[in-house]
Structure 1
Amino acid sequence: MNPSSYFASSYVNARRLYLRSAADAAARVETHVIPELRGLENEELATDVVRLGPTNARRLLVLTSGTHGVEGFCGSAAQIALLHDRPLHALLERLNVMILVVHAINPYGFSYLSRTNEDNVDLNRNSIDFSRPLPVNPAYDDLHALLVPPTWPPSAQNAAAIASYIEQRGEAAYQQALTIGQYGHGDGMFFGGGRTVWSTRLLQTLFEQYGPACDSIGWIDFHTGLGPYGHGEKICVGQLGADELQRARAWWGADVTSPLDGTSVAANVAGPVLDTLRRTCTRARTTAIAIEYGTVPLVDMLQRLRADAWVRQHPDADRQQIDAIRAEIRAGFYCEDDVWRGLILGQARAAILQAVIGLSREPAVA
């Protein structure tokens, strides 16, 4: 297949291509459907899971796409390419490593070209203990009324207020205020929710199903939107286990970054999805990263997410305006450019191979 043919134009087409590729690989598909919801094209909304490699392997690599919905075009293509990668399948058998390919963990956001799920929850802020006091984000509280204005495009006064905030405090402070997560504004941006949502519960279920027999588990969660165009930054974030960052750099290279030591383009967010693995599979040695592929400049990306939040608040707005906003959001997280697509697939395959080899060298847990 031509590399560009692994990329689909919509969630519907991505799922169709994924299922066809799984059938070509003679892989069984485990399907989990969101109940009582339909997609943008009135389609079924589902997360589909395929397992590759020896079923008795005690080393597992998890690959997830679509954590942030509209970012799923990238991760889906990497997963579909993997399903066609027969040499890599053979390597799994030789090294006794299993891969769990989790397609579209947030199918609602993927379908509706939104970063958040059916509850407007950011899955990468939802993996926290909701029985404990929720994190607070006063900087976001100060910005909330400005971020999602009553009209779109924002008024000149609104745009000037945002520009003034950035000028006075800096782009990094603006990014930090928005992106670390907030739990007080359900209609806002980067909302972590008030409970564990369907997709997070599904991940827990999958880890409970496949994790107990494993000594070592790796995870690559595919994302887009931050960093230089086409560059895949490998980020270790969350409640890292002992030596996890060191192990991640041994597997994937010294350029693995982390907000914990100030090397990452990403903020140190509350409740990242990678923590679901760490909390669920406490016996296994876990090594988890997100790969973040750059698309558009930071402020431009955040502006498109403001528009995403506005659409959520105004579902009865003019249909042409909503369609135009969704097209802009899609373009902010998926670049229809063969150079960008090639960069994504090449770096994804390298990262998967590095993880498989790294896992194969991990000792058994005593």
Structure 2
Amino acid sequence: MTDSASYFASSYAEARTRFRDAAQNAGAVPESVTHPLQGPEGEALATDVVWIGPRDAERVLLTISATHGIEGYCGSGVQSGSLEAGRYRDLPPGLAVMMIHAINPHGFAWSRRVTEDNVDLNRNFADFDAPLPENPGYTDLHEVICPPSWDQETIESTVADLLGYAETHSMAALQQAVSGGQYIYADGLFYGGRGPTWSHVTLDGLLRRHCGAARKIAVIDYHTGLGPFGYGERICPAPNGSPERARATEWFKDITSLDDGSSSSAPLVGTNDRGIHRALAHAEVTQIALEYGTQPLLDVINSLRGDNWLHVHGDPASPAARPIKSEIRRCFYPGTPDWCRSVWDRAVETENLALGALAES
């Protein structure tokens, strides 16, 4: 019996090759959307898509990996492993599975959470024709969050400032200020951009091109970085009282929410579920993010701060990059066998719930 930990790759290039090979071995033909830039080793970058089942299926399970670049190891392992294990070999009639592998391939390859233009893809689906959301807490903290130097003294002093903000306002307020999303500082953290990114446009195009016949779609977007180590939290972005929230609760059972304080995530703006709903406006869509815990919250935030400094002020090719890249990887892809097995088990359970609900709908 295959150890599920073996499904998880150690680099973007390996993850892409495994996904494509697994798809072809399963009898599917991968579609690729080539990214205009290259990876750190000069490797080609692309978002790859696999469709399993009838092309005119009215019910579709959609899985997405690498919305946040380096978090792609998690979703990629589930996607490739599912193909290798033949999990979708006997789908019910009229049901298909669509896998979008590495929607943010640049971030995946470069061990970054953001896209090539320092945009958080999960904040990039705001309405850019309207006034953009404001985050005064981030504005107050930007210079503390993103200092121009990154040494032990700076780290300690800025962490003290951040904890001071939390003591005054609450830890939840600090998390909201840092991670909720901001549209002012292009060199900052959780920047939503000033317009659609390559990954945004690619996702929209793929959904419109492939899912036109679908009438009921379940979406699982794989994420890491929040919550207890190895635990997969099912976060529903739909508001309380909405039909989508009711369906998600019925289908997935233990759902948390961004708007009632039950989630490990702060409330967010410009999230990709909005873009998915726009692209799939003809269908009944039920979405969750499956968020896996890794390291303590402050460690996760500091790993992002260090990586931001490296790409804004430092040199990603210098020796100073090694500990920073090692830390961001530890915080978003621990990669230990026990963590990978936990990811796999929860993912299979969650996907099976979605497939069962779609089959009965």
Query: Same fold per TM (> 0.5)?
Result: yes
Residue deviations 1:68-116, cap 9 Å, x none? 00101100000011112325321x1x24211111000000100111110
Question: How much has 1:238 moved relative to structure 2?
Answer: 5.2
1:346 aligns with 2:360: no
Partner of 1:290: 289
Partner of 1:65: 65
Kept in 2: contact 1:237–1:268 (CA 8 A): no
Give distance in 1, aligned partners of 2:265 and 2:93. Answer: 33
Partner of 2:270: 271
Kept in 1: contact 2:216–2:285 (CA 8 A): yes
Give distance in 1, aligned partners of 2:276 and 2:241. Answer: 11
Give distance in 1, aligned partners of 2:9 and 2:315. Answer: 28
Aligned residues: 358
Change (3 A) 1:152 1:120: same
Give distance in 1, aligned partners of 2:53 and 2:145. Answer: 46
Residue deviations 1:135-175, cap 9 Å, x none? 11111000000111111135243333223222322221110
Partner of 1:124: 122
Partner of 1:171: 171
Question: How much has 1:268 moved relative to structure 2?
Answer: 1.6
Kept in 1: contact 2:172–2:266 (CA 8 A): no
Q: What is the correspondence of 1:104-115 to structure 2 with a 5 Å cutoff?
A: 104-115=102-113
Kept in 1: contact 2:226–2:293 (CA 8 A): yes
Change (3 A) 1:317 1:111: closer
Kept in 2: contact 1:241–1:286 (CA 8 A): no
Change (3 A) 1:260 1:167: closer
Q: What is the correspondence of 1:63-212 to structure 2 with a 5 Å cutoff?
A: 63-90=63-90, 92=91, 94-153=92-151, 155=154, 156-212=156-212
Kept in 1: contact 2:240–2:259 (CA 8 A): no
Give distance in 2, aligned partners of 1:219 and 1:206. Answer: 14
Residue deviations 1:332-359, cap 9 Å, x none? 1111211111110011111111111111
Question: How much has 1:47 moved relative to structure 2?
Answer: 0.4
Kept in 1: contact 2:162–2:174 (CA 8 A): no
Give distance in 1, aligned partners of 2:212 and 2:241. Answer: 17
Q: Give the residue type in structure 2 aligned to 1:125.
A: R
Aligned sequence identity (%): 41
Change (3 A) 1:34 1:136: same
Kept in 1: contact 2:228–2:293 (CA 8 A): yes
The runs of 5 or more residues in structure 1 that have no matched partner are: none
Change (3 A) 1:317 1:360: closer
Kept in 1: contact 2:214–2:283 (CA 8 A): yes
Give distance in 1, aligned partners of 2:15 and 2:32. Answer: 15
Q: Give the residue type in structure 1 aligned to 2:144.
A: L
Give distance in 1, aligned partners of 2:135 and 2:118. Answer: 18
Give distance in 2, aligned partners of 1:99 and 1:352. Answer: 10
Give distance in 2, aligned partners of 1:19 and 1:257. Answer: 33
Question: How much has 1:279 moved relative to structure 2?
Answer: 1.3
Change (3 A) 1:317 1:14: closer
Q: Which aligned segments of 4 or more residues in structure 1 are displaced greater than 4 angstroms?
A: 238-241
Kept in 2: contact 1:239–1:275 (CA 8 A): no
Question: How much has 1:241 moved relative to structure 2?
Answer: 9.4
Give the RMSD, CA atoms, in angstroms.
1.6
Kept in 2: contact 1:238–1:268 (CA 8 A): no
Q: Give the residue type in structure 1 aligned to 2:246.
A: Q
Question: How much has 1:318 moved relative to structure 2?
Answer: 7.0
Partner of 1:28: 29
Q: Give the residue type in structure 2 aligned to 1:19.
A: R
Kept in 2: contact 1:225–1:332 (CA 8 A): yes
Kept in 2: contact 1:241–1:278 (CA 8 A): no
Kept in 1: contact 2:52–2:88 (CA 8 A): no
Change (3 A) 1:98 1:318: closer
SS at match of 1:260: coil
SS at match of 1:310: helix
Give distance in 1, aligned partners of 2:54 and 2:292. Answer: 30
Question: How much has 1:277 moved relative to structure 2?
Answer: 1.4
Give the TM-score, by structure 2 length: 0.95
SS at match of 2:168: helix
Give the TM-score, by structure 1 length: 0.94
Partner of 2:5: 4
Question: How much has 1:214 moved relative to structure 2?
Answer: 1.2
1:234 aligns with 2:234: yes
Partner of 1:19: 20
Question: How much has 1:190 moved relative to structure 2?
Answer: 0.3
